[in-house]
Each structure stands twice: as C-alpha cells, then as structure tokens.
Homo-oligomer: A and B are copies of this chain.
Amino acid sequence: MALQVISVLWKAHVEDRPVAADDFEVATNSIDPQAMGEGDILVELLYLSVDPYMRGMMRDSKGYYRQPFTPGQPLSSRGIARVVRAGPGVGSGFEEGDVLSGMLPWSSHAILNRRAQAALQLVDSRLLGKLPLPCFLGALGAPGMTAWAGLKKIAEPIKQGEVAFVSGAAGAVGLVAGQLLKTKYGCNVIGSAGSNEKVALLQQLGFDAAFNYKTTDTAEALTQVAPDGIDIYFDNVGGPTLDAALAAARPHARFLACGAISQYDTPEDSRYGVKNLMNVITKRIKLRGFIVGDYAAELGGEFHEDMSQLLLAGKVKALQHVTQGLENAGAAFVGMMGGGNVGKALVQVVETDPFPVQQ
C-alpha cells in the first residue's frame, strides 16, 4: 500500500533574506514500502531542526563547507526519526521502533539506503522519556556540543571569575554556552540578545548581565557591565558585535568564532567590514574558528555524558522553540533567522510526541 508523504522542497538559490512563502514549496507524493531495496529502512520523521548554517546552503556558493541544497529537492537537516520498517537484507542494524538522530530529508516519511543510514545514530534510549526529544537536537545535540566543545577546545583553560561575553545568547548555542560558562566554569557572564523578553530570560537563567543589542549600543553596554574588559567572547553573530567585543577585549582574550549570523542574509559584497582587528595584535587575542562536526569522534562521548548529567540535574536548562507541522518548516527557518526563537528552533513533524516527559 502506497504511503502519502509530505516534503518541503527548496526552490532556488537566494542571496538576501529568504521568504517562507516564496522560497520553500510543500509537495506531496507517495512511496511504496513494498518496493524497499536491500538493507533500506523506512522512517517516520518526529522532529526536524532548523539551523543557521543552512542559510549558506541556500546560496550558490562554492567554497562553503557544505554543498548547496539542490533546487526542486527536499531540504535536509538534523532530525529525529523512528524506524517504521526494516527492509529485506542486511542494513545498518537498525530495527523497527528504533529512535534515530542525524541528517534527514524534510519529508514526513523516507526510505533510507545504507549510505543515508550512515549519517544516523541511535538516540540514547536510557534518556527517552527523561529528556524531551527536542533536547536531542538542542542542548544534547549539535548546538549544545558546539557550545561545550568550543569552550573546551578554544577557551580553556578558563579561570573562575573571568569575564565572558556571549552574543546570540538566547539562541540554541548561546543559551548553553552562557549556562556552561556560569555553572561549569564560574565565569562572570554577559549575554546579548534581540528582545527585552530574551534579556529577562537570560537574567532568570543566571547570566550576570544581559542587554538588548537592538536598543542598546553594544560597545557602551560592554563598557558599563564589563568596565575592565572581557576575557572570553563566544561569537555567534559577527559583524558590529565582533567589533565591539574586540574593543572591549582584555589582553590575552580568547575569541570563539562560532557564527556570524548578522551577515548570513547579506550578499557577499555588502558584508560588514570589521575595523577593530588591530586589537588582535596589541592585546594578543586568540581568535579561532571551529566547526562542531570536527570534534564528534574525539569528544562526542564525553560531551554526551557530561551534558546529559548537567541536564538531568537541572544545572543547564534546555529550552526549545517548537513549530508544529512540517508544512511550516520554511517559516520556522525564516523565523529563527529573524530572532523569533528562544532556545533551539525546531519543527515537530509527527502529530503526537511518542516520548513525552513525565514531570
């Protein structure tokens, strides 16, 4: 019996801000589970992540560290799926009922060959029902690992009481970075975000200071809350915020170049030029870029253990911003890029979450 499948397709490359209604297309087709090949699995999608790095895949750019999306094809991103049926023959060992996470197409169901299965892994079943599924795409997934591994590999050694500034602090990566800097490392943590509600949330979560970069000048705010300067800058946004952080840096500051979302929707030739790089020399700043995937093999296990403990103990709070319905995935992506989310932005594809957390 054929299965009705909804997908979200990418229409064409765009240079400036994508528009949900124009650039994404919802399509329906059907697949035939009987026709599954040797080693294939059929999965139903539960959740899909919408992430800033996807913006780079919506350009026609060579040299980006990921391949662009193919116009007319479903987008793809990290997600959580459940195996509905394992096909004939030898697959990757996944069985019916397994909950998997990893790269998935933006489709309600999908038949995945062995190659596609290689990009998936079992979700730690000990944690199902204890931590919400979205958490595995957020604080316990790639964004959480980004914060955790970035701090470990680039900011450490960190001295208690050092002053750390996190931009994009109310987002998926930023919220984890700020909380780790506070509870794990004992820093004095400053966060910036794009609304007063986000600022209030940061204060609630234990940030020592927070400000709305849309209504406050970042350089002035930093002078006020960190008059002696900052030791660590966790950069999620780039652009003018990076300039302000360079001016505010203390000697020997470490700068984690994690993201530059303020520039993602800007065509290459009109990007913001950073003027305060001379501080890198005079203050001996270490500015280092990193991509979380590089650390998966080396640090994935340690991250998973440490972060799941912190989450279960309530020492780090995981926040998610869930949009219902795959057909709204384009809007969820565009909304996230515009600051609509608090915590990890994602899409609930399945109607009823099969592993609700009992509070």
Residues of A whose CB lies within 8 Å of any CB of B are 56, 63-65, 238, 242, 251, 257-260, 263, 271-275, 277-291, 294
A284 touches B289 (CB 8 A): yes
B238 touches A282 (CB 8 A): no
CA distance A71 to B49 in the complex (A): 61
Q: Which residues of B contact A257 (CB under 8 A)?
A: 277, 280-281, 285
CA distance A238 to B277 in the complex (A): 8
CA distance A271 to B280 in the complex (A): 15
Contact A291 to B282, CB < 8 A, known contacts A238-B277, A272-B275, A275-B271: yes
Closest to A260 in B: B278
How far is the CB of A190 from the nearest CB of chain B, in Å? 20
Q: Which residues of B contact A282 (CB under 8 A)?
A: 56, 63-65, 289, 291
A286 touches B288 (CB 8 A): yes
Q: Which residues of B contact A275 (CB under 8 A)?
A: 271-274
CA distance A3 to B215 in the complex (A): 64
Q: Max chain B CB contacts within 10 Å: which of A258, A271, A288?
A: A288
A281 touches B294 (CB 8 A): no
How far is the CB of A298 from the nearest CB of chain B, in Å? 14
B289 touches A280 (CB 8 A): yes
Q: Which residues of B contact A272 (CB under 8 A)?
A: 273, 275
Contact A278 to B65, CB < 8 A, known contacts A285-B289, A294-B284: no
CA distance A288 to B65 in the complex (A): 22
CA distance A65 to B260 in the complex (A): 28
A287 touches B287 (CB 8 A): yes
CA distance A294 to B284 in the complex (A): 10
A281 touches B291 (CB 8 A): yes
CA distance A272 to B274 in the complex (A): 8
Closest to A271 in B: B275
CA distance A290 to B238 in the complex (A): 22
Q: Which residues of B contact A287 (CB under 8 A)?
A: 280, 286-288
What are 8 sample pairs from A and B whose C-beta atoms fall under 8 A apart?
A65-B282, A238-B278, A258-B281, A260-B277, A272-B275, A273-B273, A274-B275, A286-B288
CA distance A288 to B275 in the complex (A): 16
Closest to A284 in B: B289
Q: Which residues of B contact A274 (CB under 8 A)?
A: 273-275, 277
CA distance A278 to B268 in the complex (A): 10
CA distance A289 to B272 in the complex (A): 22
B273 touches A260 (CB 8 A): no
Contact A283 to B65, CB < 8 A, known contacts A257-B277, A273-B273, A277-B274: yes
Contact A284 to B273, CB < 8 A, known contacts A260-B278, A263-B278, A278-B263: no
Closest to A259 in B: B281
CA distance A251 to B66 in the complex (A): 13
How far is the CB of A143 from the nearest CB of chain B, in Å? 15
